[in-house]
Structure formats: structure tokens, C-alpha cells
Amino acid sequence: MRVEVSALNHTYPGKPPRPALAGLDFSIPSGQFVALIGPSGCGKSTLLRLAANLLRPTGGSIRIDGRTPAEINAARQVAWMAQSPALLPWLTARGNVALAQRFINGQNGGLPIEDALQRVGLGDIQAAYPFTLSGGMQQRLALARLLIQPAGLWLMDEPFAALDEITRERLALELLDLWQPLHPTVLWVTHHIHEALRLADRVLVLSAAPGRLVADLLLELPRPRDESDPRFQAALSQLRTCLAQAQGEAQR
Amino acid sequence: MRVEVSALNHTYPGKPPRPALAGLDFSIPSGQFVALIGPSGCGKSTLLRLAANLLRPTGGSIRIDGRTPAEINAARQVAWMAQSPALLPWLTARGNVALAQRFINGQNGGLPIEDALQRVGLGDIQAAYPFTLSGGMQQRLALARLLIQPAGLWLMDEPFAALDEITRERLALELLDLWQPLHPTVLWVTHHIHEALRLADRVLVLSAAPGRLVADLLLELPRPRDESDPRFQAALSQLRTCLAQAQGEAQR
Amino acid sequence: MKAPARRSALVAWGIVAVFLISWEAGVRLMNIPVYLLPSPSHILATLADNPSMYAQASLLTLGEALIGLLLGVLAGAAIAVLLTLLPGIEDGVMTLAILMKSTPLVAIAPLLTLWLGFGVLPKIIITALLTFFPVLVNVLSGLQRVDQPFLDLFHSWRASRWEVFRYLRLPGSLPYLFAALKISAPLALIGAVVAEWTGASGGLGRTMWLAYTNLNLPYLFAAIFILAAAGMILYRLLAWAEGRAVFWQSISREL
Amino acid sequence: MKAPARRSALVAWGIVAVFLISWEAGVRLMNIPVYLLPSPSHILATLADNPSMYAQASLLTLGEALIGLLLGVLAGAAIAVLLTLLPGIEDGVMTLAILMKSTPLVAIAPLLTLWLGFGVLPKIIITALLTFFPVLVNVLSGLQRVDQPFLDLFHSWRASRWEVFRYLRLPGSLPYLFAALKISAPLALIGAVVAEWTGASGGLGRTMWLAYTNLNLPYLFAAIFILAAAGMILYRLLAWAEGRAVFWQSISREL
Amino acid sequence: AAAPTQPAPSSEPLAMTFMAGYKPQANLPFVGVYVAQQQGFFREENLTVTIEHSAGQGQHLQLLAAGKVQVTTQDAAVLLKRRADPGLPLVSIALIGQRGQQAYAALAGSGMNTPKDWQGRTIGYKGTPPPDLFAILQAAGVDENEVELVNVGFDPRLLTEGKVDVYPIYKSNEPYLIRSWGYDLTLWEAADFGVANLGLAYVTSEETLANQPELLARFLRAALRGIEYARAHPDEAVQTVLKYTGPETDADHMRFMLESELEDAVSPVTEQNGLGWQTLEQWQSLSEMLQQYDALPRLDAAQAFTTSVLQAAQEK
Ligand SMILES: Nc1ncnc2c1ncn2[C@@H]1O[C@H](COP(=O)(O)OP(=O)(O)OP(=O)(O)O)[C@@H](O)[C@H]1O
Ligand SMILES: Nc1ncnc2c1ncn2[C@@H]1O[C@H](COP(=O)(O)OP(=O)(O)OP(=O)(O)O)[C@@H](O)[C@H]1O
Ligand SMILES: [Mg+2]
Ligand SMILES: [Mg+2]
């Protein structure tokens, strides 16, 4: 799905009010895999929440295939994965995933529960309750819950933050492997620059709060990507500098 | 403080019982900075909880300067930072840190509240309540809460998981900078291999659950470390392979 | 958990024993006349002398109490659910509930007799009226107190109000529900007794009424002991059920 | 939040109005005699005719109710705290509490009068006895239900039982405390009335008793209306205070 | 026991509910009904009677007026008051208590002999100070401002514990209790001061009276028979009462109540016209007393009672 963000502002109420996003402008063609990077507290989660219709922007607009987030949400075409796993404590691992399945209307594209749990490596503890799972396991469970939802737009908030490099890479491949055929648009918040470059078609860099767009770089590299490739290394160092600047502004 | 772990086992009760640690054996000389790496769900947090006296091992023992975790806990010589921030919602950012200060007996070595908040970059939102903080900010607040506690042993469970590379590196430096003078023993769970190599004197690698020690490598490199240094690169690739094996066993 | 459980049971009996013994002692030493306050031994003797009478009366009263409690709980919970699904009417309905709650039962007892006759039905209704309010208030706040992250999740799923209720609020409100039950269970016993107090043809309430108006206190207190025992048993059962139902949130006593 | 608030207030009054009107209509159409059930208009007229009398009576009764409520809440909360700090004695103390709760007030009211005379003191104590139990039960479960991560944190700090109570359990139990207050506030009014029901020289309870024994139902119901109004006001105040005190956990109605 | 004879074939079966005005005890009007039920006197009248009990207060009158109950019992003075306000259609069909039920009691040790001695003492009352209290005070020439009136519930212990000096009691009830605790009493009765008062009556509603005189007649006939039977066989009657009060009730207490009420059931009026008879001047003087001391609106005492049912009962 096409995502158009124009003059997007969000300021949280309160005294003092907290500006989280200040004038974002970008548009994402349908099916693009976009990584979102930025310093802590710069508004990444806020942006995803706006797209998922959990917040109304205080200024500007988001359009998804020309419709408002509310309309898209009503049509259940967006799958959102929060930064914290938010697992229901009274449901088993499987139960938590199964619950999500009640909320998908007919469209196909979502994984079967069994398959989703297998792919995130929780196939053998489906009966365990969330409070008996390790941090990383909880996050993987939340991921499985997203994977069963068929959607044209994936909003993922640091889905791998609590995972070790290896699991991380394996799941990244799994994910690409699911993404290729359906080709949903993906907004992927990550702090892992290599990961961003390994996965994304495009990387958006936000400044420190209130978030503004400080870099927008496209990667036309074939997947799987070869880190030794000079273009990869170039992109890498470019990103680092952007981020450093973004941070720098934060310090001022 | 000296940490001795011998034949340490932990299995969580339940049907089926969940073995989390299977026969760990290692000892850490006082003042060593140890990074703990291992696949998701392999027992890292469990190990820290055992050291912090939040769990009793089902087998084997942990001795800290020859005393049991309970004794050390009673003496308030251990500072533990959980994987989830666990911030009290009815206290402000500052309030949450100030609360921790009630629980330190006279020893000096902990940072003043103000200073701690500054170092983690939350100096200007001390009056904000946790639920208005971003994921990364919450984690940094939890870190500040740890930094004010004077302790001979730091147990840190993925303290930077929710932070972007740059903030992460900056905080890592801050931390080293605090660690150098006091030189407490540090048990540092991380998923970030570079980070481990940048910070630690020694890296312990655990196998997939139930956790066993699969690698224990010492780094006698001066800090700040130069990633281009061949020894660094060697260690890096060595770690990668260990982890890959650890994972591999998990698959079987 | 077994050992401490047994220990606390011992302590419990110990405390009760101390209480009864000091009561007994107080009555004997200050020799308080029986028509002011009978001694526990006297009360228990009375119980022992009239087993069948008290057994029958208790059966009737406990029956009324339990059915009334059931009705009251259902009513209270139902209203709470309604108010959760239609929050607009909350203030209005609560106003009526409080109006109902503020009406002394004696004022409506005759109306109930008029409409429902002299049987047990009015007693049950009165009990229900007495018990529904705590359930309503507690369950309502239980249903309304939900953590934001979960609400966001359900919102992102475009869950209906009903689905949010069914899959999020309902399980989340269980701790409040059980607290309400623990409050209402003794109330139900009181309710049944008070209902019988006004000219019933049987039950503990009637026994107590007669005993009281004849200042026959041993018989009065014997009934009270039965009520207390019943209340205690109900409470324990509820506590046990609570542990089973709210397994994900351990009741922490050790620190 | 302003607009919806005003709307729901409107709805509230609407619902109350509908209720009163249908009551009025019912009484008129089925022409129910006044000595069974007076019409709202009749009741309000009675109120309007005796403003000063009802004002005085209300003042006395509300005074007793509030002081009694305060005592009851303090007692209930204090016991709950005690049981949290000394969990060993929980079962025993709860048994006594239930014994006390199961004792119908009519049985103890005269004893209190014998010991404390005809003044307001016995009324206040009865009210306290009636209100302490919901507070005890609710606050106790509030204090016992703490999330494990927080307990671990305090444990890692080697916090004392008291510190865990003071800094973790106490704030965490506020939602339960307020639910308990909402339950107990109307109970307190009932309590004061029941206490005055026999052997008071003033107050709404006495007014109601006289009105009832003289089958003067308009006067009885006029008092009931006052009680309901007072109950409603208390409830609203508590709801407002709750919002202020438990600011970190929003009461969610919109989904 | 009288051998139950077959009901007259002519009379068709009737059913009714009798609600005693208070809890089960040996008040004479109650005893009459209990015994009639026990001895089958109602059956002989081909009448089925359901016996209920009221909590006291007003419930039984409400239910009577609403037609849920056909006959109840009520104190004559209260009956007049209820007729006046809220205007309940109550009619006495038989006056069992020919004298007032209440009296005023003080501990014998208190040194009070005449109401004059009440000056400066605390006097208890139940709910509202009863008119005969003021009557007594006036008759004895005591200024009502020189006594302290306190509202006490039902609780004679207030007297023995010294919370009140003078306490209103039912002659047939509390004296037994208080004496059983080892106290002696001095009693003052309104009648002793020429103050008219009456006791319990069988009461029905104007509607029932108009529509079911036959039923009332049968009821009254059987109930009065029950009272006579109780007079003849007090022990048996007490046993019958215990069936309703439960075995835990003190038989001697009930016996005392029965006997003292049997005494008050007879008066010149009844000796002339039979048990339960009532006359206009009895009711007239009562209502005058009430008007004087209780600010009761003037009302026609003639409407408050009827002898027609008793006459019908006395025939055949
Ligand atoms: N309370 C519990 N009850 C039962 N099993 C548990 C409990 N806590 C953890 N476990 C199990 O113990 C194992 C290790 O858990 P632990 O949290 O130590 O893993 P971890 O190394 O911290 O993983 P991560 O990197 O994802 O945090 C996991 O398999 C987990 O399911
Ligand atoms: N509910 C809220 N009320 C007030 N301010 C808020 C709220 N939620 C977020 N903020 C503020 O908005 C800013 C952006 O928050 P957001 O969670 O979007 O950051 P983020 O980019 O996701 O950071 P992180 O990488 O640490 O998750 C932060 O300064 C935060 O303090
Ligand atoms: Mg975020
Ligand atoms: Mg962990």
C-alpha cells in the first residue's frame, strides 16, 4: 500500500507539551521495505502509532492508498507490532496468537498459527504462559502474532530488539522470505544499522525529538546482501554520520 | 567482588519443568568486566536472577566473595538491572531514581541522582512520568536507577537493547568511565557482539536452553578498542562461530 | 506452599481460640448476666442441645442466602457489563442503583410480600438487593481499569467494544470480581436473616428474631455462630477459587 | 473530555427523570394507595413542606454517617495493612472479621446503647462496623496483588516488608481502596439510619422509624430521597478524587 | 380435647389468611387462633386459615388494607390513629383486651411509689411518647417538663441496667422477664388513674367486612372458642403456643402472658354481652383521650368497630 506523509506533526498534550514529530514529509510506494532509524525518543513509535490509527496527528496528515489511517484500520489492512510485547497473561503462547486470528477478515496472506510459531522458534512451547517466557521469547511471540495477520502494511517497532545476533539474522531471513511473495509495504523501526541495510529498500533517518527527516537513502542492492560490497560499506558510513548529526542536534 | 559459579543448575518448576541452566562452571576475579552472550531463552536472565538472590538454584552454587547471594543481597552490595525497565508509574522519572536511593546504606560510589539522569540524557525531563517516556528513555531511566547504587557487583540485563547505535555507544563510554575508578565486577548480558568486544575483559557464551558454557574468551586489548585491530576481528569471527554452534545445538 | 499454609491455619485457630477463651473468661470473671452477653460455652451448649432445629433453620436460611447471592451477583455483574458496553448511561444507572441501595429494606418488604406472597421468594429478592451493589461497583472498576498497551493492541485489531470486553476486560476484572464476592458472601447471609427477621415462618432469621425479642441471647448467639461459620466457609471457598481463576497474578505475601 | 461529560450528565438526568415519571404514572394508573407506595410528586411535596425538619435530621444523620465511615475506613484499612505486614495472622483475623460481620446489628445495637448510652456514639460505631468490611477485603486484595517485576526490584534492593508496603503495595492498592469507598459510602448512610432506627432522639433514621410505624410513607420516602441524594453526591466526590489519585491508570470507556 | 364434629354440610368451604400483629407468643388473640387451628375449630367451620406473623410495626395493617390478609390484630388506640392517618379502613370486630396492654414500670428498689416521684427521672418510651403517659402525668399532677423523656427501643435491660428510671412495658410480657432476672417491679397502669385505654382487637378491613361477613363470623366463632378452650386448658394452650414460637421459648413466660391477658379479657361489658364485646362509649372515651393527649383529629369512633360479626358468631 502507498503511504503518503505530509507536514506531519505530533505534540503530546501535557505541561509542558511534548513535541514528538515536527513536519515530516515523505511518501512510500506500495510494497517498499522501509527501515526507520533515529535516536532514542525521536518519535519513531509515535509515527507508527499515528499510521496505526492509535493517535490522531496534531498537524498534517497520513494517507494510505489515499485513505485515512482510520479507514485503513477499519478495513483491517494494517498489522502493527508494538515495541513492548503486550501479551495477555491469561492466554498461552498459542492462545495469544490464536486470539489475533479472530480479528482478520477473510483475506488470505496471513500464516497459519502453527506455521507462525514454528518460524519464530516457539513451536515446542505453545502451551507456556507469557510470564514463563524469556524477554526474547516474548518478543518472538509478539512477532508470530503479527505474522498471522494478512495486511498490506506492516508496522514493526523494533521487533528484534531483545534478540541475539544469530536469532535476529535467522528471523530476518524468515521475514524477507514471507515478504517477497506478498510484498506488503513495511515500516520497520530498528536501531541496528547493519540490519537496516541488510533488509531495507530504503532507510529513513529521523533527528532527535522532535523528529524531522534528516536522511532518506535508497538501496538498490540485490538481496541477500553482501556486507563487503563497497556500496554497502558506503551506505553504512553515510548512515553513521547522519545519525551522529541527528544526535549532535539532540545535544545542542 | 569475586564470583564463583560451580555446577550451577536451574530448572523452573511446572509441567513440563523447564531446564534453564545446566551445569555452569566458571569464576570471575574481582573487578572483571564480563559480557554474557547466548541465544534467546538460554538462561542469561536466570543466571543474573540467581546472582541477585531472586531465585534459589535447583543445583550447584554461586559464591560472591565466598558468600551466598542472600548474604550479599543482605549487605546491599549488588546492583541489578532487569531486562524490563519496571518503573513505578506513580513516580516521576526523578522519583523513580530517588526511590532507589532509599535502599543504599552509607557506602559511597553511587552517582548523585542529578548526575545519573544527566549521564543517561534524561536531565531535562525529570518531572515526566514513565508512561510518557519512549521505550529507550524508559530503559535509560532504569539504567540511571542502577548507577546511583554503590555496589561491588553490577548485574545488567541487556541495558541497551532498546537504544540506537549512537546513544548506545555514548552510554557505553559513560559506563566505562564510571567503571574505571571503582572497578566493580560486571556481569553484562548483551546481544550485541561488537559491544561485547568493545567493552568487556571477557566474554562468556552460553548454549541454547538449557544454558551451558560453550565459550569463554579473554580479551587483553587496551580500551578504547580499535575495531580494525586484527585481534578484535579474530575475536569477532570466533564469537560468531561459537554462537552459530550454540544456535545449531538449539535447532537439534 | 503446603507447610506455611498449614502453619497459618494453626495460627488462625489459635487466634480464634484466644478470642473465645478471653470472651469466656470475661463473662465469668465480671459475671455478666446471660441476658446481656452469654459465654461461648453456654452458646455452644445451646447449639449442641438443639441440633436438628438449628440444622433445619440453617438449611433454609443458607439456601435463601446462596440463591439470593447468586441473583445479586448476576444482577450486579450484568449491570456492570451493560455500563461497560454502553458507558453513556453509567451516571444515570449508578444514580438509580444508589437510590435502590439507600432504600431501607423494611420500606419495601411489605411491597414484596404483597407482590410475591409470604414464601421464600421475597427473602431471596431482599438478599439479592443487599448483595448486588458491591459486585456492581467492584466489577465496574475492574472492567474499566485496563492497561493502555492492551487497549492499543485491540484497537489496532479493530476489535469491537464487545470483543474488547470479552477478551480483555472480562479476564482482567476477575480479581475485582472475587474481592466483590468475598464482600457479598457475608452480606448475603445477613440479608437472608434480615429478610426472615420480619415475620418469616422459618429459618435462622426467625429463630434470632424470636430469641432476641424474648432476650433469649444464647439462642440468638448460637445462630450467629452458625452464620459466622457459614461465612467463613464461603470465604475460604472463594479464596480457593480465586487462586485457581486468577492463576497469572500470584497473591504475594512473602515480602 | 468536557463535552462527553456534560452529555453523560444529561443522559443521567434523563434516565432518573424517566424512572421517576414511570413511577409516578404507575402509582396513578394502578392507583396504588399512599400507605403502600406514595408517588414521587407526593414525596417531593412532603420534602418541600418540611424543609427545616429534614434539614436538621439530615445534618445529624449525615454527620454520624461520615464520622462512622471515616472510622470504618480507617479500621478496615488498618487491619488490611496489618495483615499485609503480618501475613501469618491473615486467616485468623479474617475469621474474627467475618464473625463480627455476621453478627446482625440489631443484636449488638442494644448492647452498645447499654454501654455507651443514647447519644450519637453508638450510632457512629454501628456505622463503622457496617462499613469496615468492604474496605478490609478490597484493600487487602489490592495490597496483595503486585506485579512480580516490581517485587523482584524491591527484593534486589533488600527492601523491608514495610518499605515494600509503603512504596509499592500502598500506591498500587489505591484503585481497590476507591472501589471500597464507593461501596461503603452508601452503606454508611444505611448504617446511621439503621442505628437511629430504634432508640434515637433525632435524625433521619428516627424520622423514618416514626413515619414507618405510623405508616406515613411519604415522610419515609422523603427521607429515602435525601439518603439517595447524599449517596449520589458522595459517590461523585469519590469518583472525582479517584481520578485525581490514580492518575497513572486511566479509566478507559471509549473502547 | 373436644371431639371435632363434622362441618355443617350447608356452608361452602372458605379460606382466609390471619396475620398476627406481632411475633408468635401468647397474646390472647393469637392463642385463640392457634388453639382453634390446633383443635380443628376452623375445620368445623369449614374454614381454612393460613396463619402469618408480622414484624410488628405496620406491615400487617398494610397487607390487611391491601386485601392480602383478612384478619389481623391491633391495639385499639393504634387502630384509631391509623383510621385518622393515613386513613386505613380498619374495623375492630372483637375487642379481646378490655384494658390497655401497657403499664409503666420502675425497679422496686427505686423508691418510687406514685408518678409524683417521677419528677426529675428519665422515662423511656418506644418511638413516640404514648398519650396515656401524658394522661398519667397530668392525673398525677406532674409537669411533663420536669421529667426527661428518652426514646428507647424494645429493651427492658435499659431498666435493670439503670439507663432509665421508668420504662414502658407490656403488662403480660416484660414483667415476667425482669422478675426472672431477679428484680422486683413497681407498676403503674393508665386505668388506675381513670385514663381510658383498651387492648388488642381482632381487626378486619371495611371491604372484607362488607363482602365476607360470613367468613368473618366463622373465623370469630372459632377463634373465641379457641380462647375459651385456652381458659379451660391453659397448659394444653401453652403447648400449642410453643408449636408456633419454637421449643426454645420459655413455657412459663407464655403461661404468664396467657393468664394475665385472660384477666384483661373480661370486663363488665363482656360479662354482660360475651367475650370480645365492645361498646361505643369504650371507643368514644379512648378516642377522646387520644384527641386530648395525642392531637388526634376528631373522628367518629362508631366507624371503628362493629358488633355485627360477633352477633352473627354468637347466633347458632
Ligand atoms: N518464571 C518462569 N517459569 C518457567 N520457565 C521460565 C521462567 N522464566 C524463564 N523461564 C524459562 O527459562 C529459560 C531461560 O529464560 P531466561 O529469561 O533466563 O532466558 P534469557 O537468556 O534471558 O533469554 P532472553 O535473551 O530472551 O532474555 C527459558 O526457556 C524460559 O522459558
Ligand atoms: N503518552 C505520551 N505522553 C507524552 N509524551 C509522550 C508520550 N509518548 C511518547 N512521548 C514523547 O514523545 C517522544 C517520542 O516518543 P517515541 O516513543 O515515539 O520515541 P521513539 O522514537 O519510539 O523512541 P525509542 O527508540 O526510545 O522507542 C518522546 O520524547 C516521548 O517522551
Ligand atoms: Mg519507540
Ligand atoms: Mg533475558
Nearest to D153 by CA among B84, A89, B150: B84
Count residue pairs from A and C with Cβ separation < 8 A. 43
Q: What is the pLDDT of residue E3?
A: 45
- Confidence class for position A194, pLDDT limits 50, 70, 90: confident
pLDDT at residue A250 is higher than 70:
no
The set of residues, in sequence order, having a beta carbon less than 8 Å from that of C23 and lying 6+ positions away, is C39, C40
3-state secondary structure chain A: CCEEEEEEEEEECCCCCEEEEEEEEEEECCCCEEEEECCCCCCHHHHHHHHCCCCCCCEEEEEECCECHHHHHHCCCEEEECCCCCCCCCCCHHHHHHHHHCCCCCCCCCCCHHHHHHHCCCHHHCCCCHHHCCHHHHHHHHHHHHHCCCCCEEEEECCCCCCCHHHHHHHHHHHHHHHHHHCCEEEEECCCHHHHHHHCCEEEEECCCCECEEEEEECCCCCCCCCCCHHHHHHHHHHHHHHHHHHHHHHC
Q: Mean pLDDT across the stretch C143-151?
A: 91
Burial class (CB in 10 A: 0-12, 13-18, 19+), B65: middle
Residue A193 to chain C, least CA–CA distance (Å): 27
Tell me how far apart the alpha carbons of residues D144 and D194 are, in angstroms, rounded to a whole number: 33
Is the backbone peptide bond immediately before C186 cis, with ω within 30 degrees of 0? no
Q: For residue C12, what pLDDT is reported?
A: 84
In eight-state DSSP terms, residue E52 is: E
Distance of CA B96 to the CA centre of its chain: 20
Cβ atoms of A185 and A30 within 8 Å: the answer is yes
> Of C118, C211, C213, which has the smallest distance from its Cβ to E154's Cβ?
C213
- Is it the case that residue C142 has pLDDT exceeding 70? yes
Range scoring the smallest mean pLDDT among A99-103, A167-171, E126-130: E126-130
Number of C to D CB contacts under 8 A, please give it: 219
Chain length of chain A: 252
Residues forming beta bridges with residue A62, ordered by sequence position: A5
Distances (CA, A) of C209 to A3, C189, C194, C205, E248: 76, 15, 9, 6, 12
Peptide bond into B210 cis (omega under 30): yes
CA of A233 to the centre of ligand 3 (A): 27
pLDDT band for position E126 (cuts 50, 70, 90) = confident
**Lowest-confidence range among A33-37, C48-52, E8-12, E76-80?**
E8-12
Contact A194, A229 (CB under 8 A): no
Helix C51-85 and helix C40-49, axial crossing angle in degrees, nearest 10: 100
E177 touches chain D (CB under 8 A): no
Cell of C131: 448483595
Over 80: is that where the pLDDT of D196 sits?
Answer: yes
- Arithmetic mean of pLDDT, B202-218: 90
CA B48 to chain centre: 7
Using CB atoms, which residue from D152, D158, D167 is nearest to B76? D158
| Helix (H) / strand (E) containing B185 | strand B185-189
Q: Tell me how far the alpha carbon of residue D180 is from its chain's centroid.
A: 9
Is pLDDT at A14 greater than 80 in this prediction? yes
Q: Which of A92, A131, A132, A143 to mutate to test the pocket of ligand 1 (most atoms within 8 A of CB)?
A: A132
Among A105-119, A174-188, B125-139, C11-25, the range scoring the smallest mean pLDDT is: A105-119
Helix (H) or strand (E) holding B188: strand B185-189
Beta strands E102-107 and E47-53: pairing type?
unpaired
Give residue C3's pLDDT.
54
Q: What cell was used for E57? A: 410495626
Residues 6+ apart with CB under 8 A from A238: A215, A217
* Ligand 4 mean position, distance from CA B104 (Å): 25
Residue A79 has pLDDT above 80, yes or no: yes
**Ligand 1 neighbourhood includes B12 CB (under 6 angstroms):** yes
By alpha-carbon position, which residue is closest to atom 27 of ligand 2?
B135
Query: What rounded mean pLDDT belongs to chain D?
Result: 88
Q: Categorize the per-residue pLDDT at C2 as very low, low, confident or very high, splitting at 50, 70 and 90.
A: very low
Residue C18's pLDDT is 93
Q: What was the ipTM of the complex prediction?
A: 0.90
C-alpha span between D243 and B139 (Å, rounded): 28
Q: Is the pLDDT reported for residue C67 higher than 90?
A: yes
CA angle B14, B18, B21 (to 5 degrees): 140
D148 — contact with chain C (CB < 8 Å)? yes
pLDDT recorded at residue B120: 92
E120, pLDDT greater than 70: yes
- The DSSP letter of residue D30 is T
Rounded Cα gap, residues A131 and E123, in angstroms: 70
For residue B42 and ligand 1, the question of a CB distance below 6 A is answered with yes
Instruction: Give me A14's grid cell.
Output: 501535557
Residue A249 pLDDT grade (very low, low, confident, very high; cuts 50, 70, 90):
low
D114 confidence band (pLDDT: 50, 70, 90): confident
C196: pLDDT strictly greater than 50:
yes
Q: Which ligand is nearest to the CA of A211?
A: 2
If you take atom 7 of ligand 1, which residue's CA is the nearest one? A132
Ligand 2 nearest-atom number relative to CA B164: 25
Q: What is the mean pLDDT of chain A?
A: 90
Question: What does the pLDDT read at residue A205?
Answer: 92
CB contacts under 8 A, D 234-253 vs B, are 247-249
Distance between CA atoms of residues C42 and C46, nearest Å:
6
Is A188 within 8 Å of A83 (Cβ atoms)?
no
On whether any CB of chain E is under 8 Å from the CB of D119, the answer is: no
pLDDT at E8: 54
Cβ-proximal residues to A167 (8 Å cutoff; 6+ apart), any chain:
A121, A136, A140, A160, B39, B40, B247
> Is residue E39 scored above 50 in pLDDT?
yes
Distance, CA of B157 to CA of B43 (rounded, Å)? 11
pLDDT at C127: 92
Residues D148-164 pLDDT 10s = 999 999 999 999 999 99
Q: What is the mean pLDDT of residues A48-71?
A: 94
> What is the number of residues in chain B?
252
The 10s digit of each residue's pLDDT in B34-92 is: 999 999 899 999 999 999 999 999 999 999 999 999 999 999 989 999 999 999 999 99
What pTM value is reported for the model?
A: 0.91
State the chains in contact with A (3 or more Cβ–Cβ pairs under 8 Å). Answer: B, C
Nearest to E302 by CA among E277, E275, E288, E284: E284
| pLDDT for residue E5 is more than 60 | no
